[in-house]
Structure formats: C-alpha cells, structure tokens
C-alpha cells in the first residue's frame, strides 16, 4: 500500500451530485456533511447507529463492505432513515483502496468525515493464546485493526476536504484484558496510528480522533472468548450505569466528533464507558 498520494483531486468533483441516495434531513448537527462509514454489519453495531444518527442530523452517508459481509451491509443500509450506497472495500486490498476516491466522488462529490470501525483477529490471536500466537496471525490483527486506519485515510485524501474529521472506534488499550490478547495490542497500535495521523494531517486541518467505547454487545464483542466476564465488569463497576446492549451513547460521541463543534481537538481518545477508565473499583 502506498503512502500519501499526490493529490490533487484531479478529475474528482468538489460539489455533491444531485442524487439524494443516503441523504439526511438537511438540518442538524451534521447538516451538509458527507460521510464514509465502515463496519456496518448488524443493526446493533455501533457503526450502524453512527450512520443512523448522522443521517438524522443532516449528513449524507455511504457505507463500505466486501465479501460475504456485503449483502448483510446492503440489507442494513436499507434500514437507515434513508437508504445508503454500499461501496466495495477490503482495506487490505490495494486495488479497492485505489478505486475508493472515484467511487466516493460518484456518490458524494467529496468527504467531510470518515468513521473507521474495522477490526479482526484470527481465533489463534484471542482467548488466552497470546504466548502461542504465530506472527502471521498477529500481523493480520495489526494490519486489519490498526494499519487499516492509515490505509483508509490516505486512500481518501484526494476527496477528503480540509477541516474534515476522522473518527475511529477503540477499546481502551491502557490495560491488558484477559482473552483480548493481540486485539488489545492492535488497539494500542490503533491509538498510536491515530496520534501520528493527527500529527501529519494537521496542516490540512484534518482532525483524527478515537472513541474508546465501553463494552457493547455487538457481533464483534460476542466473538471474544470470555466476553461474559468482561460484560460483568461493565455491568457493575462504572460510576455511571452502563447498558451493554445500547450502542447509542458511543454513536452520539462519534457524531459530535464528526461535527464542527470540536474544531481544535485531534489526536484525542474520547472515553464513552460510563467512567470506568477513570476509577478504581
């Protein structure tokens, strides 16, 4: 995968096309914003609720997916307030990344924001097998879950306007969680990638931040061995009551970061976890 491409938007439209597919309400916190959102795999995923709230707050949205997940994402796109286009994107495939700017331009004309909700680790990299995980599997987790943020953002630079906002979904990597293993390492890498992107994209006034969510019972969370133990922690220990079945608080935080209300915030990790990260209980 190449680094930052020579830009300069040649051949890509600056103004949104007239089509209203994926159109939001036209008013609200995100009125007029054009957003690319990854990771919509079910209607209880955080990314789905980010897309829903974004449309309700006036944004236009495109989703991404690939392979066996593509028809699932397409079905979820129909459940949004306005049906959204779904673009093919495997973040580990250079061809998909190269084709992304033109696809975005066709639907939206450009981008004001990106939501990175992409993570994967092979089963051998989870569940307490940390000491035995082969490099190939650890490398897969790191590439898909951390490096992909850099790959996605740099691919989108030709259509990403100055002042845009990039938001990634995180699970606080300050602690080692039993069973989370190489996914935890990947989240730590994601946090570092975010800081470096914030450093190098600041001159373009592009903000890059993470939302560190408390445990939400998504498809991804259910794949973590021993997640029931983690759920019990989130049910009983945060100072604010935390509902592991409610992705909306996290989605609202993402919407806020995508808006213009935090124009000087970048390289930040916003915790939406009921306050658990801040207390010893």
Q: Which of 194, 192, 202 is nearest to 263 (CA)?
A: 202
Q: Which of 33, 147, 150, 187 is catalytic?
A: 187
Q: Which of 33, 147, 150, 180 is catalytic?
A: 180
Catalytic residue status for 187? yes
Residue 133: CA count within 13 A, CB half-sphere: 25
- For the beta sheet containing 111-116, the strands, ordered from the edge strand earlier in sequence to the opposite edge, are 86-88, 60-65, 34-37, 111-116, 160-170, 207-213, 269-272
User: Per DSSP, what are the bridge partners of residue 182?
Assistant: none
265 contact partners, CB below 8 Å, separation of at least 6: 207, 209, 257
The one-character DSSP state at 223 is: T
Q: Rounded distance, CA 9 to CA 16, Å?
A: 14
75 contact partners, CB below 8 Å, separation of at least 6: none
Residues noted as catalytic? 180, 187
């Amino acid at each position: 995968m190449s680094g930052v491409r020579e830009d300069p938007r040649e051949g890509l439209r600056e103004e949104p096309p007239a089509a209203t597919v994926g159109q939001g309400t036209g008013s609200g916190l995100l009125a007029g914003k054009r957003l690319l959102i990854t990771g919509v795999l079910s209607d209880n995923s955080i990314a789905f609720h980010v897309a829903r709230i974004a449309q309700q707050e006036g944004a236009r949205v495109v989703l991404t997916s690939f392979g066996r997940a593509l028809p699932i994402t397409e079905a979820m796109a129909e459940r949004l307030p306005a049906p959204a286009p779904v673009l093919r994107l495997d973040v580990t495939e250079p061809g998909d990344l190269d084709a992304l700017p033109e696809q975005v331009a066709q639907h939206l004309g450009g981008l004001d924001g990106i939501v990175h909700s992409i993570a994967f680790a092979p089963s051998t990299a989870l569940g307490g097998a940390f000491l035995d995980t082969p490099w190939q599997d650890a490398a897969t987790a790191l590439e898909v879950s951390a490096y992909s943020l850099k790959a996605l953002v740099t691919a989108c630079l030709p259509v990403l306007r100055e002042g845009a906002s990039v938001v990634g979904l995180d699970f606080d990597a300050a602690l080692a969680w039993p069973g989370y293993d190489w996914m935890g390492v990947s989240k730590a890498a994601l946090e570092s990638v975010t800081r470096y992107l914030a450093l190098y994209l600041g001159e373009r006034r592009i903000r890059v931040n993470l939302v560190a969510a408390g445990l939400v019972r998504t498809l991804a969370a259910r794949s973590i061995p021993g997640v029931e133990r983690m759920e019990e922690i989130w049910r009983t220990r945060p100072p604010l009551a935390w509902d592991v079945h409610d992705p909306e608080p996290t989605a609202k935080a993402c919407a806020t970061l995508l808006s213009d209300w935090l124009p000087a915030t970048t390289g930040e990790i916003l915790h939406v976890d009921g306050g658990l990260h801040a207390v010893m209980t």
